[in-house]
């Protein structure tokens, strides 16, 4: 196995840890590459095609490299009611990307997620895990600008 | 200015607090205060986040709500100023019965001693003095039913596992709180992780379990962190040594699949595979994780267990209704004044929760949705219904895990149903025909209707498919997915018909059926709307070209005079 | 300890662990299932096998549910059958493919087009002919005159010209028609009289003979063939070289002919009914429709004109300046015959525009090449004789709203009348059946038959144009066959399988792009359509020689390489199709989006066509649990779930082509690429 995946050694080799292994890969690289699938398959002794089958089942796993800033717009019920669709459209038009896409510079990637569990602050989004609540057009655009400047 | 002396500060830094900026408040307050400043869990008053509690020497507390991380606000708090003080609304105080959440926001979630100092692990200690079957019996007496939504009597479930003879017996805490709009479990795990774990350890003693899993959504990083810290502390204090067995407690992170809330899918996922459910029987208590007898309870269910042991099953059962005992946590959100987490006795009416606690405006509420995408809506006319498992079922809704979304009169019920189906059909695992194809077809029909392209045949097909998808799906996801559609069709059929027959969305929510209208008499010609429009649909003389307009509402959002509004398509 | 329970009220017993499906099957119940495969662990996916627990009303997948003592299970209650139908309808709604090739479906006779084209492509035209004759007993004629319904639906239309399908029939028949002699079964002793020796009558006779029924054809004219002899001009269908040769075969098959016998004239229906076991009335449409304007008696009827020329061996006077009124194929036959008789001024008048003309485009084009002039949006108002000339008053028209046929209705323009002069005016407006007394007439002025059948009453049947109204040869042939099979069933009790009712389709080619098509073979030819060779234009205009010659074998074979082979590899044993047919499903009962077309033919022997997959996962489990290889896995989830290989690179070298996954696939999602 490639040295760069040696961190897998910390995880037990039993196949029930497959998801944990994939989460470790994504944690390290931001996504799951073909190469890392091969490494994971070898490590756990699971055929590559099954590893793919498992990871493609779960929404968490990304197969393409995300942007530096990962925007997740919550479309949970509360956020939806509070207009998350519009939040997403505003972000889409500001960045020129749709949900599931990464912008050309690799700065932002945008996705819609089921629920961030901050329903009372709806509508919310998270950028690299940091949650922003009570969004409206103005503060959403402002937050994006702040990140863009980083 | 008060003379009272401040003993310490607590700042609510659960996820929603942080989202509101509590971490910055904590940081600044720590820098300025001379007394200890603790990060604590969630008090449930999300609308008032960030929330700071000044604990006084005399045992009393002063709360500050919506605290800003600036010098002025912090100074005010340090001086116990009058400004920005927060009081729990009196109506809420009268109705609420805080038992499960008693420690949330009162303790430092990652401090073992703090938990113990507040009575933590007394329940476990007591349980260990009892024989396992006595503990099971106590839980049976309490009348506790599964808080994940199913409402299966917890004591019975425990007795099934207890009766099994096997090398390994598994207890799983289902923390895959996937219902969009529900955050009770997150809050409890973040604010009092030991309480959940204590419940699990009691269960392990009662059932003879050898291995404990917590299957938690990866979207809850703080909950996972707090649980892991708590587990380390449990190992350290050897609390995982139960009846001579050294229990392994493992936190497994879900990876984003709603269907994994279903028992058999959760087990498949825990085994490292695709989270697809399988036909039951065999039930997990017969054949679960890796074939071992397995029992799954929800976070809130486990959270109740220490209380039962502490006060006794009979005392526990004094609260609640005939069929539903104890209290229930609800995550209140949507169109109301005080969104947040509440704990009320079973049997409290929806009206009390929505109006008295949530502060929703009686005239502007249309319905509530309970049970998230698996549940149904309950129209305001029926708000006298008590919340318990059986009453809600009768109305075509379900208790669910406790999400309660208030839907205002300005919401379209067809769009609401479409939204839920967009969720469930995406989350279908794809294994069985009725769910995979049936929910997709239902979703497509709702898309057509909200786009003004629905037909009466579409309505008929929805009504035909709904019950069949319910009856013919393999697991709970598909079996409940039609509920939001069937419930809205039951109570708001006229809205569906208006979309289909008159191409009219009364709530003006469905984009395809509305135009944007700029009221020239209100317009002050500030041009903010023109600047905000992403498609250049507003002319220099302030007329909206609805052929170009994408109904994104950017203009209406920026207009200082509220001169832009939605109107029925073609009405101006 | 066995478990006693009830299936549809019948007491049965199960061993512990047995599923309801297993017990039901052992007890003679037929429960459909797609995803149950006994060698692998249960998938519980398709839910086609549902049964119902009577007490709770719950539906259970019988493949996975085990019975409880005393449980009452409904296996065939209406509710159960309805659920199964819905499950199948849902599966059909996401199914992308073509059960049958669109050419075959378009053929009124349901000839197996793809199959005879394939045989021809491989140079086996005898095989091709055998396949054709299963549905088309007149391949020499139809190979020349068919309007080619098949080619109009050919998927090659998506990019370029359709496969020249008809040339396969023409060549196969030209090569092997005389040689190929069907094997006839022993005589049944049954005798059938057929009134009318046109395509429908001949076809009925043919298929009756193949079932051992004796046939006598009563024909009013001196020779057999009906409209293909007396209506279709020599230059399209040579009579002695082609038609006589084709009809000779019927005598060889033992068909008796009695010529000059006309029903109601010198032939009595009552007598036929008594003398024969059954009678088929196939008298065609020989009555021309009038022009319905003043002076219409001055006008020659198109079919009379054509028949006159044919009966006179293509000898007739030069008609002078000709106006033919009408836009159908008969009108084209009239104008082109007029050209050949020496007229230098032939005109076609049609009240709509060229786009609405019912005539074949190729006929219009060929007429134009031969110098025919077309006048659109004009209708006759009056015909009168002035001296030795005919004068027709015409009125200009414009197109209005679409009528019942979907074509835009011509509307008169007031005050637009004008006159034209001609020596001959021919009306080719339409034809109807001249129905003799004693035969019931429908409101469409055709022979009335019982719903869904071709039976009139008692032992009397009807077929062809007299039932349908004037139609094409291939439709007549299809109708004749249908009547024959109905009669055989009535006389002998032999049943014939009905045409499949479930035909999933990728859609009309007009709505498809090349990416939507599935290419089973790697080397589908990109070449242009092979063109027919025409005789020189001067010869065309001055003689009645056949306009085109039969395409040589090499070129027809090459043309066959253009065939995409649209039909499903699994069409004969697809479980989805057969269960859906039994359950009375409809492919469009539930409509909705489908997955984009993705198929994999990287393996030389195997095709994986995801659009057909029902996501049962049987292939995945067979490969893992039986073959011990795990080369497949479900990927993604929900509606977008598909079965893929590692990195979607296709079957790896480690695949031993054992075929287990293919055999286990209930549909055509995994199959051998070779259709034979």
Which residue of C620, C623, C646 to mutate against A (max A Cβ within 10 Å)?
C646
CB-defined contacts B:C, below 8 A: 91
> What phi, psi does B244 have (nearest 5°)?
80, -5
Whether residue B201 is predicted with pLDDT greater than 60 in this model: the reply is yes
**What is the structure's pLDDT at B3?**
61
**What is the structure's pLDDT at B399?**
85
What 3-state DSSP class applies to B508? Answer: coil
Minimal Cβ distance to B433: which of C90, C592, C636: C90
Contacts of C50 (CB under 8 A, 6+ apart): B472, C59, C60, C61, C62, C80, C83, C84, C87
Please give the Cα distance from B435 to B425 (Å, whole number). 8
Please name the helix (run of DSSP H) or strand (run of DSSP E) that holds residue C126, with its range, or none: helix C125-133
Q: If you write DSSP's letter for every residue of C5-66 in order, what string do you get?
A: EEETTEEEEE-TT--HHHHHHHTT-----SS--TTS-----S-TTEEEETTT--EEETTTPP
Is B99 a member of any domain? no
Determine, for residues B434 and C590 on separate chains, whether the beta-carbon distance falls below 8 Å: no
What is the band of A1 on the pLDDT scale with cuts at 50, 70, 90?
A: low
Report chain B's mean pLDDT, rounded to a whole number. Answer: 94
Determine, for residues C64 and B279 on separate chains, whether the beta-carbon distance falls below 8 Å: yes
Whether residue B507 is predicted with pLDDT greater than 80 in this model: the reply is yes
Mean pLDDT calculated for residue range B353-372:
93
Answer positive or negative: Cα dihedral of C644, C649, C650, C651.
Answer: negative
> What phi, psi does B514 have (nearest 5°)?
-130, 160
Kindly state the tokens that stand for B179: 């219902």
Cα separations in angstroms, B400 against A121, B98, B119, B439: 21, 20, 30, 19
* Per-residue model confidence as pLDDT tens digits over A117-137: 677 788 899 998 888 888 988
Cα separations in angstroms, B421 against B374, B418, C655, C672: 9, 5, 40, 38
Determine, for residues C87 and B433 on separate chains, whether the beta-carbon distance falls below 8 Å: yes
Kindly state the tokens that stand for B288: 């679960």
Please give the Cα distance from C359 to C366 (Å, whole number). 11
Is B321 a member of any domain? no
What is the band of B44 on the pLDDT scale with cuts at 50, 70, 90?
A: confident
Minimal Cβ distance to A56: which of C630, C635, C645: C635
CATH of the domain at B449: 1.20.1440.230
Closest CA to B425 of B444, B403, B400: B444
Task: Map out the domains of chain C with their CATH numbers.
Answer: 3-93 (3.10.20.740), 102-180+519-560 (1.10.1060.10), 191-286+433-492 (3.50.50.60), 292-429 (3.50.50.60), 589-672 (3.30.70.20)
Kindly state the tokens that stand for B213: 């899993």
Please give the Cα distance from B340 to B164 (Å, whole number). 41
CATH of the domain at B267: 3.40.50.11540
Please give the Cα distance from C130 to C113 (Å, whole number). 12
Q: Please enumerate residues of B whose Cβ is less than 8 A from a Cβ of C.
A: 257, 274, 278-279, 281, 425-434, 436-438, 440-441, 444, 461, 464-465, 468, 471-472, 474
Assess whether B528 and B379 both reside in one domain. no
Which residue of C33, C78, C92, C638 to mutate against B (max B Cβ within 10 Å)?
C638
Closest CA to B109 of B19, B11, B35: B11
The question of ipTM being above 0.85 is answered as yes
Residue at a domain's end among B316, B348, B373: B316
* Per-residue model confidence as pLDDT tens digits over C306-356: 999 999 999 999 999 999 999 999 999 999 999 999 999 999 999 999 999
Q: Please enumerate residues of C whose Cβ is less than 8 A from a Cβ of B.
A: 42-48, 50, 58-59, 61, 64-66, 83, 86-87, 90-91, 93-94, 590, 592-593, 614-615, 617, 634, 636-641
Contacts of C447 (CB under 8 A, 6+ apart): C281, C433, C435, C439, C440, C441, C456, C462, C466, C467
Residue at a domain's end among B408, B434, B460: B408
For chain B, how many structural domains are there in total? 5
Give the start-to-end residue ranges of the domains of chain A.
3-55, 69-149
Determine, for residues B474 and C47 on separate chains, whether the beta-carbon distance falls below 8 Å: yes
Assess whether B396 and B521 both reside in one domain. no
Please give the Cα distance from C490 to A59 (Å, whole number). 62
Please give the Cα distance from B502 to B452 (Å, whole number). 9
Assess whether B345 and B293 both reside in one domain. no
Is B188 a member of any domain? yes
Residues of chain C where predicted confidence (pLDDT) is lower than 70? none
Is the distance from CB of A91 to CB of A135 less than 8 angstroms? no
Contacts of C268 (CB under 8 A, 6+ apart): none
Please give the Cα distance from C424 to C244 (Å, whole number). 31
Q: Can you list the alpha helix ranges (DSSP code H) found in B40-167? A: 71-78, 90-95, 112-117, 122-128, 132-142, 154-163
Contacts of C636 in chain A (CB under 8 A): 56-57
Please give the Cα distance from B339 to A78 (Å, whole number). 10
Determine, for residues B340 and A120 on separate chains, whether the beta-carbon distance falls below 8 Å: yes
Beta bridge partners of C421: C391
**What is the structure's pLDDT at B75?**
94
Contacts of B465 in chain C (CB under 8 A): 86, 590
Shortest CA gap A145–chain B (Å):
16
* Per-residue model confidence as pLDDT tens digits over C356-406: 999 999 999 999 999 999 999 999 999 999 999 999 999 999 998 888 777
Is B398 a member of any domain? yes
Closest CA to A62 of A32, A38, A34: A32
Is the distance from CB of B415 to CB of B509 less than 8 angstroms? yes
Assess whether B171 and B41 both reside in one domain. no
What 3-state DSSP class applies to B47? Answer: helix
Q: If you write DSSP's letter for every residue of B270-339 in order, what string do you get?
A: HTTS------SSSPTTTS-GGGS-EEEEEHHHHHHHHHHHHH-HHHHTTSB-SSSBSEEEEEEEESSSS-
What is the band of B161 on the pLDDT scale with cuts at 50, 70, 90?
A: very high
Which residue of A21, A22, A55, A57 to mutate against B (max B Cβ within 10 Å)?
A57
Q: Does B534 touch chain A (CB under 8 A)?
A: yes
> Which residues 190-249 of B are in CB contact (within 8 Å) with A?
218-221
Determine, for residues C638 and B441 on separate chains, whether the beta-carbon distance falls below 8 Å: no
Residue at a domain's end among B358, B378, B408: B408
Domain residue limits at B83: 6-87
CATH of the domain at B355: 3.10.20.600
- Burial status of residue C359 (CB atoms within 10 A of its CB: 0-12, 13-18, 19 or more): buried
Cα separations in angstroms, B23 against B13, B39, B49, B87, B191: 6, 9, 11, 22, 15
Answer positive or negative: Cα dihedral of B86, B89, B94, B99.
Answer: negative
Homologous superfamily of domain range A69-149? Glutaredoxin (3.40.30.10)
- For residue C508, give the DSSP letter: -
> Which residues 363-382 of B are in CB contact (within 8 Å) with A?
369, 372-373
Contacts of B487 (CB under 8 A, 6+ apart): B375, B376, B377, B378, B395, B396, B397
Determine, for residues A15 and B47 on separate chains, whether the beta-carbon distance falls below 8 Å: no
Minimal Cβ distance to B47: which of A120, A132, A138: A120
What is the band of B182 on the pLDDT scale with cuts at 50, 70, 90?
A: confident
What is the band of B1 on the pLDDT scale with cuts at 50, 70, 90?
A: very low
Determine, for residues A118 and B183 on separate chains, whether the beta-carbon distance falls below 8 Å: yes
* Per-residue model confidence as pLDDT tens digits over B259-295: 999 999 999 999 999 999 999 999 999 999 999 999 9
Closest CA to B50 of B81, B78, B17: B17
Assess whether B471 and B559 both reside in one domain. no
Other CB atoms within 10 Å distance of the CB of residue C18: 16
Q: Does A116 touch chain B (CB under 8 A)?
A: yes
Determine, for residues A137 and B429 on separate chains, whether the beta-carbon distance falls below 8 Å: no
* Paired sense of beta strands C72-74 and C50-53, if any: antiparallel
- For residue C460, give the DSSP letter: E
Assess whether B231 and B133 both reside in one domain. yes
């Amino acid at each position: 196995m490639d040295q760069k995946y040696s961190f897998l050694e910390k995880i037990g080799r039993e196949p029930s840890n497959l998801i944990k292994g994939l989460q470790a890969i994504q944690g390290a690289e931001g996504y799951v590459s073909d190469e890392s699938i091969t490494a994971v398959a070898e490590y756990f002794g699971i055929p590559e095609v099954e590893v793919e089958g498992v990871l493609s089942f779960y929404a968490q796993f990304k197969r393409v490299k995300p942007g530096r800033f990962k925007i997740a717009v919550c479309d949970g019920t509360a956020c939806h009611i509070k207009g998350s669709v519009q939040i997403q459209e505003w972000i889409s038009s500001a960045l020129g990307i749709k949900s599931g896409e990464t912008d050309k510079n690799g700065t932002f990637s945008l996705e819609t997620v089921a629920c961030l569990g901050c329903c009372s602050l709806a509508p919310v989004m998270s950028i690299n895990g940091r949650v922003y609540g009570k969004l409206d057009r103005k503060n959403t655009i402002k937050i994006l600008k702040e990140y863009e400047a980083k | 200015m008060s003379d009272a002396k401040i003993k310490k500060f607590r700042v609510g830094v659960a996820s929603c607090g942080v989202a509101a900026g509590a971490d910055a408040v904590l940081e600044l307050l720590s820098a300025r205060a001379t007394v200890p400043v603790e990060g604590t869990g969630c008090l449930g008053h999300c609308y008032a986040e960030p929330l700071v509690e000044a604990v006084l020497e005399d045992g009393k507390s002063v709360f500050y709500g919506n605290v800003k991380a600036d010098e002025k606000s912090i100074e005010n708090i340090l001086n116990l100023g009058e400004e920005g003080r927060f009081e729990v609304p009196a109506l809420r105080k009268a109705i609420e019965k805080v038992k499960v959440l008693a420690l949330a926001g009162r303790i430092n979630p990652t401090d073992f001693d703090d938990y113990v100092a507040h009575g933590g692990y007394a329940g476990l200690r007591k349980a260990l003095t009892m024989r396992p079957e006595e503990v099971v019996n106590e839980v049976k007496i309490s009348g506790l039913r599964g808080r994940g939504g199913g409402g299966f009597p917890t004591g019975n479930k425990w007795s099934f596992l207890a009766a099994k003879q096997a090398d390994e017996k598994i207890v799983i805490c289902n923390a895959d709180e996937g219902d969009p709009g529900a955050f009770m479990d997150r809050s409890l795990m973040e604010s009092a992780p030991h309480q959940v774990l204590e419940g699990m350890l009691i269960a392990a003693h009662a059932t003879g379990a050898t291995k404990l899993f917590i299957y938690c959504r990866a979207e809850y990083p703080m909950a996972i962190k707090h649980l892991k810290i708590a587990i380390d502390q449990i190992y350290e204090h050897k609390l995982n040594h139960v009846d001579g067995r050294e229990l392994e407690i493992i936190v497994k992170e879900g990876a984003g699949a709603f269907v994994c809330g279903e028992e058999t899918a959760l087990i498949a996922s825990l085994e490292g595979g695709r989270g697809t459910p399988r036909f039951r029987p065999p039930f997990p208590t017969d054949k679960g994780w890796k074939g071992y007898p397995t029992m799954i309870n929800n976070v809130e269910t486990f959270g109740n267990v220490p209380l039962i042991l502490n006060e006794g099953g009979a005392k526990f059962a004094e609260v609640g209704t005939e069929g539903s005992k104890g209290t229930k946590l609800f995550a209140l959100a949507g169109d109301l004044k005080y969104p947040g987490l509440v704990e009320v006795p079973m049997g409290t009416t929806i009206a009390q929760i929505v109006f008295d606690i949530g502060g929703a405006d009686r005239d502007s509420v249309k319905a509530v949705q309970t049970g998230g995408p698996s549940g149904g809506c309950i129209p305001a006319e029926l708000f006298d219904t008590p919340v318990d498992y059986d009453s809600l079922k009768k109305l075509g809704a379900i208790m669910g895990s406790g999400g309660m979304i208030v839907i205002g009169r300005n919401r379209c019920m067809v769009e609401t149903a479409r939204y839920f189906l967009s969720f469930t059909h995406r989350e279908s695992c794809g294994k069985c025909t009725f769910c995979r194809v049936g929910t997709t077809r239902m979703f497509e029909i709702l898309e057509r209707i909200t786009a003004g392209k629905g037909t009466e045949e579409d309505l008929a097909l929805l009504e035909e498919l709904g019950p069949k998808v319910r009856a013919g799906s393999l697991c709970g996801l598909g079996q409940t997915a039609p509920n939001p559609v069937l419930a809205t069709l039951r109570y708001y059929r006229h809205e569906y018909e208006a979309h289909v027959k008159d191409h009219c969305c009364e709530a003006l929510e469905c984009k395809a059926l509305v135009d944007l209208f700029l009221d020239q008499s209100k317009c002050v010609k500030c041009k903010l709307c023109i600047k905000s429009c992403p498609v250049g649909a507003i002319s220099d003389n302030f007329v909206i070209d609805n052929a170009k307009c994408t109904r994104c509402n950017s203009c209406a959002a920026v207009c200082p005079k509220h001169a832009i509004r939605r109107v029925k398509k073609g009405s101006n | 300890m066995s478990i006693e329970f009830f299936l549809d009220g019948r007491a049965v017993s199960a061993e512990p662990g047995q599923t309801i499906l297993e017990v039901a099957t052992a007890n003679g119940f037929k429960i459909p299932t797609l995803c149950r495969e006994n060698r692998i662990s249960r998938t519980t996916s398709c839910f086609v096998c549902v049964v119902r627990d009577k007490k709770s009303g719950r539906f259970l997948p019988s493949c996975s549910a085990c019975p409880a003592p005393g449980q009452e299970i409904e296996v065939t209650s209406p509710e159960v059958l309805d659920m199964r139908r819905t499950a199948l309808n849902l599966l059909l709604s996401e199914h992308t493919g073509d059960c049958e090739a669109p050419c075959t479906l378009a053929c009124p006779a349901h000839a197996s087009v793809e199959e005879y084209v394939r045989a021809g492509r491989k140079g086996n035209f005898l095989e091709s002919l055998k396949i054709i004759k299963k549905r088309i007993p007149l391949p020499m004629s139809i190979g020349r005159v068919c309007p080619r319904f098949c080619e109009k639906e050919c998927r090659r239309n998506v990019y370029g010209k359709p496969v020249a399908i008809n040339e396969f029939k023409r060549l196969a028949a030209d090569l092997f028609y005389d040689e190929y002699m069907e094997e006839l079964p022993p005589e049944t002793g049954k005798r059938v009289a057929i009134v009318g020796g046109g395509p429908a009558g001949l076809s009925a006779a043919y298929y009756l003979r193949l079932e051992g029924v004796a046939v006598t054809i009563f024909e009013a004219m001196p020779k057999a063939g009906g409209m293909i002899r007396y209506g279709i001009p020599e230059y399209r269908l040579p009579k002695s070289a082609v038609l006589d040769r084709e009809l000779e075969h019927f005598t060889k098959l033992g068909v008796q002919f009695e010529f000059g016998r006309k029903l109601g004239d010198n032939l009595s229906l009552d007598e036929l009914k008594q003398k024969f076991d059954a009678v088929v009335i196939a008298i065609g449409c020989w009555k021309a429709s009038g022009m319905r304007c003043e002076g219409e008696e001055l006008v020659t009827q198109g079919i009379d004109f054509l028949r006159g020329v044919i009966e006179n061996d293509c000898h007739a006077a030069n008609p002078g300046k000709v106006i033919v009124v009408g836009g159908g194929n008969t009108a084209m036959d009239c104008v082109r015959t007029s050209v050949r008789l020496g007229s230098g001024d032939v005109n076609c008048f049609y009240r709509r525009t060229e786009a609405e003309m019912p005539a074949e485009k190729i006929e219009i084009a060929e007429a134009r090449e031969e110098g025919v002039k077309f006048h659109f949006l004009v209708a006759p108002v009056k015909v009168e004789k002035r001296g030795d000339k005919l004068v027709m008053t015409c009125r200009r028209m414009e197109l209005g709203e679409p009528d019942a046929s979907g074509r835009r209705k011509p509307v008169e323009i007031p005050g637009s009348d004008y006159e034209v002069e001609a020596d001959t005016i021919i009306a080719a407006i339409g034809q109807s059946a001249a129905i003799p007394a004693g035969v019931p007439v429908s409101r469409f002025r055709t022979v009335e038959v019982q719903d869904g059948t071709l039976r009139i009453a008692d032992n009397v049947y009807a077929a062809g144009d007299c039932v349908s109204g004037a139609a094409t040869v291939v439709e007549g042939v299809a109708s004749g066959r249908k009547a024959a099979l109905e009669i055989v069933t009535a006389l002998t009790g032999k049943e014939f399988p009905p045409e499949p009712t479930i035909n999933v389709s990728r859609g009309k080619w007009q709505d498809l792009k090349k990416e939507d098509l599935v290419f089973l073979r790697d080397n589908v030819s990109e070449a242009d359509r092979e063109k027919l060779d025409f005789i020189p234009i001067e010869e065309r205009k001055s003689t009645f020689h056949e306009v085109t010659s039969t395409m040589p074998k090499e070129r027809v074979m090459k043309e066959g390489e253009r065939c995409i082979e649209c039909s499903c590899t699994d069409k004969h044993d697809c479980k989805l199709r057969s269960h859906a047919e039994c359950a009375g499903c409809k492919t469009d009962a539930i409509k909705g989006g489908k997955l984009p077309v993705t198929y994999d033919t990287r393996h030389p022997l195997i095709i994986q066509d995801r659009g057909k997959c029902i996501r049962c996962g049987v292939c995945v489990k067979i490969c893992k649990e039986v073959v011990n290889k795990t080369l497949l896995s479900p990927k993604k989830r929900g509606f977008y779930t598909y079965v893929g290989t590692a990195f979607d690179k296709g079957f790896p070298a480690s695949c031993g082509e054992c075929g287990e996954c293919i055999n286990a696939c209930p549909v055509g999602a995994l199959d051998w690429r070779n259709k034979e």
